[in-house]
Amino acid sequence: MSTENNQPRLPLNSVPLELQERITSLGGDPNLNLYKILSNNPQFLSSWVDFAYSIRRNCTTSRQLRELMILRGAQLCQSNYEWFQHEKMAKQCGLTQERIDAIQNWQTSTLFDEKERLVLELMELLIEHKGKLNDRIDEKLKQHFTHAEYIELILTGSFYVMVPTVLHALQIPTEN
């Protein structure tokens, strides 16, 4: 993955206390550089936190499936920051290092089941085809997931296409 510039485009502000408390209560770390940069606009940081944690906590699709998508997106978008944060989360939800290492070559790996392959392909389509899904993947998604879960996967993937865009645009450095 690419080396990200260590000089952020905006100041790393302190996260407002009420947002620190909310992030902590959700199980997050308010000291992340992403949150510090977004603190330049606390209203949007608040909206970001609401949406990100809704994806993390309010979905019925498995966290492992969604972390696979996020990590594949981090690879394709060359986002070291996103990879660094979500590799930890993937391990916390039960993905092994062997499976994480195999994401790059998921098409030939025997470590992923049909649903996992489907969401990895979905993430690639969201990035490489700018969200345009073909009929085959649409049908397969509908075979394996409810309509609500379909929406969860599309919103998860789309959000985690936006995340590296924000990270790159603002040159947010990975925490040391």
The mean predicted confidence, pLDDT, of the chain is 95
pLDDT for the residue numbered 59 = 96
What fold is seen in the domain 63-169? AhpD-like (1.20.1290)
Residue 5 is predicted with a pLDDT of: 53
List of long-range contacts for 25-31, beta carbons under 8 Å, 24+ apart: 26/53, 26/56, 26/57, 28/53, 31/175
Return the domain boundaries, the chain. 17-57, 63-169
pLDDT of residue 176: 75
pLDDT digits (tens, 9 = 90+) for 75-95: 999 999 999 999 999 999 999
In this prediction, residues 66-70 reach a mean pLDDT of: 98
Count of CA atoms in the C-beta half-sphere (13 A) of 62: 12
Give buried/exposed letters for 139-166 (b at 16+ CB in 10 A, else e). ebbeeebeeebbebbeebbebbbebbeb
2 pLDDT above the threshold of 60: no
